Structure formats: C-alpha cells, structure tokens
Amino acid sequence: AQYQIYDVKKPRYVRVNTLKLDVETAMFELGKENVVQKDEMIPDLLVLPPGTDLHNHPLVTNGSVFMQGKASSMVAVALGPKPGWEVIDACAAPGNKTVHLAALMKGEGKLVACELNKDRVKRLEHTTKLAGATNVEVLHESFLNLNPEDQLYSKVRAILLDPSCSGSGTVADRLDYLLPSHTSGDDEAADEGRLVKLAAFQKKALIHALSFPAVERVVYSTCSVHQIENEDVIKSVLPLAASYGFQLSTPFPQWARRGLPVVEGSQHLLRTDPVEDKEGFFIALFTRNVTHFSESS
C-alpha cells in the first residue's frame, strides 16, 4: 500500500525497557546487525535506520525493548513520575505508555492502569506482563468512574491521560484521507460529528483528571492533528484548571514546534508534525504545587 512505501523512510525507534535491560547492553545486542544511535532527547530511546525490521528480534519478543515512536515516547517522559509515586494511566491499553511509566518509576510505587474496553484490557495485561512491570495494577473500568474523593486515590500525584482520539496524526490514517471514499460531503459531515464527540469525551476526561486532590502533574496527549482535539480541549478547561491551582508547563522546552497560537499559553503546548516528525502528536502538561505530608522524593 501507498503508506507502507512512505513508512519505509521513517527511522525506526525502539525504547529500551529498563525494567529488563540496560541501554548499553541493548545497543550492543542490536548493534550486531544494525547501526544504532541514542536519541538526543529521550533517555532510553534508540534510533535505527529506516526499514529496519525488528518485529521478530528476541529483544522485542521478550519485552526487553519496545518498538515505540519518538513522539509517543515523549508522553511518559513529559509526565515525569518519580519512583515510589502513585500514578494513574487513565486510558491505558495497549499499554505502551503504561510500561514506559513503570520503567521511569523503576517499578517502584503504584501505577493504576485503567481501561474501559474488555478486549483491550487483555492486551494491556499482556503488555505489562511482557515488560515485567510489577507495580502496575490493571483496572477494567471507565476512568470517569474513578472517584477522586475515594481514599484509594488520595495519594495519586500524576495522571497520564491519552484518551481515544481520531488518530489523524498517524501515517496510515493520514493517507486514508487521500482515498476517494474520504472526499464526499457525507463523509466530511460524519468525520466532523465524530471529532465533536471525541472532543467532548476528551474534555470531560481531562476535567476529571484535574479533580484528583493530590495530583500535581497531568499530561494530556493525543495522536491527532486536529485543533478541536488538542488546543481547543486545553482552552476549554483552562479557567477550571486555574481555579484548581494548575498552570500549563513546558514539556521539552528545547522542542521548537509548539501549540497553535489559538489559546493563551500555546507556547507551553507541544506538537509533533505528521510529515516532518513522522507522527502527529500533541502534549499538554498541567502542573501545580501540592504539599505532601510524607515527602518520599
């Protein structure tokens, strides 16, 4: 297919799962057959030449490295959970970012991975088992049903919200738009309606994430290029977020591509470009200071 030809030009990224393997050993093993470099920005992320096929590589099949793009790997790093923290991954399956969070937490603390869809829960469980992420508790539930007042969540310090989105920033979906079936007015109207529904859920879920009492860091991310799922969602929650004491912070300040200038604070938001950066992602980071009774880190 057309997109596969395009796809071949993408550098291959793999994230070393430091719960199972150290970066130097991974580089040594992968370097036997490939040219391997460290990514300059994301710790534990390795870059391999375009077209490298690692699907059946033993380090992939045994969960020592995960095939994960650069933009996707920015998300958990932006949240920056510390070992020992309590954290929620609100929309977790298939679990790539869950196990990345677990690695950043060095397997210490508690990570609740919440997923609504039953079949996807199975994939999430598989991913966490493969990664050896023993501090993950998989929860088959809607994130919206987790009660922020429940004692169970009274110590949660960070929430990753990577909700269902249009996926318009991913290569396959982007080139789908070139197909004839995507040109009719009916389809455009259907797409528009879908985006409005997705954005309504995204906004609701973000407001919910911001309402947990001890949370000091919330990352909102999508793999969409649409303003309605990105800047518009952030804009709509900003007054409420400010009333809870949150402000927008700047994930990866060295990254040049920021949010569309349609919202105050857009310079804090991060975008990746579907063509130049190979995947269209969006990341927003909310932070606030919360006094903790027992500071562990």
Q: Which parts of 73-112 interact with ligand SAM (CB under 6 A)?
A: 91-97
Q: Which is nearer to ligand SAM, 29 or 173 (CB)?
A: 173
- By the rule CB under 6 A, 163 interacts with ligand SAM: yes
State yes or no: is 165 an active-site residue.
no
Kindly state the smallest distance separating residue 37's Cβ from ligand SAM, in Å: 24
274 binds ligand SAM (CB under 6 A): no
Tokens of 253: 């300040």
Residue span binding ligand SAM (CB under 6 A) among the ranges 157-165, 170-178, 235-243, 261-269:
157-165
Residue linked to tokens 């860091």: 217
- CB 142, min distance to ligand SAM, A: 4
265-271 own/partner pairs: CB under 8 Å, 24+ apart: 265/234, 265/238, 266/231, 269/230, 269/231, 269/234, 270/74, 270/78, 271/230
In angstroms, give the least distance from the CB of 70 to ligand SAM: 13
In the complex, the smallest distance separating the C-beta of residue 139 from ligand SAM, rounded to whole angstroms, is 9
Which of 36, 78 has the CB closer to ligand SAM?
78
Q: Is 137 annotated as a binding residue?
A: no
- 226 lies in the binding site for ligand SAM (CB under 6 A): no
Distance of alpha carbon 40 from alpha carbon 48, whole angstroms: 13
Q: Which of 114, 223, 241, 283 is catalytic?
A: 223
CB of residue 53 vs ligand SAM: minimum separation in angstroms? 21
By CB under 6 A, tell whether 241 contacts ligand SAM: no
Contact status: 162 vs ligand SAM (CB under 6 A) = yes
CA distances from 154 to 102, 158, 213, 214, 239 (A): 20, 11, 7, 6, 23
Give strand pairing partners of 139.
114
**Is the Cβ–Cβ distance between 283 and 257 less than 8 Å?**
no
Is 213 annotated as belonging to a binding site?
no
Q: Does 114 bind ligand SAM (CB under 6 A)?
A: yes
Query: DSSP letter string over 36-67?
Result: -EE-SSSTTEEEE-TT---TT-HHHHTTSEEE
Other Cβ atoms within 10 Å of 47 Cβ, number: 17
- Is position 144 an interface residue for ligand SAM (rule: CB under 6 A)? yes
**What is the spatial distance between Cα 25 and Cα 19, in angstroms, rounded to a whole number?**
13
Q: Smallest gap, in angstroms, from Cβ of residue 154 to ligand SAM?
A: 20
Nearer to ligand SAM, 92 or 263 (CB): 92
- Which residue in the shown chain puts its C-beta closest to ligand SAM? 91
Contact between 230 and ligand SAM by CB under 6 A: the answer reads: no
Query: In this structure, how many other beta carbons lie within 10 angstroms of the beta carbon of residue 79?
Result: 26
| DSSP structural state of residue 166 | -
Separation of first and last alpha carbons in the chain: 50
Give the β-pairing of 65-67 and 45-48.
Answer: unpaired
* Of the residues 13, 85, 143, 282, which one makes contact with ligand SAM according to CB under 6 A: 143
A 10 A CB-CB count for 54 gives 17
Q: Which residues bind ligand SAM (CB under 6 A)?
A: 91-97, 114-117, 120, 142-144, 162-165
Indicate the annotated binding residues. 91-97, 115, 162
Active site residues: 223
Indicate the annotated binding residues for S-adenosyl-L-methionine. 91-97, 115, 162
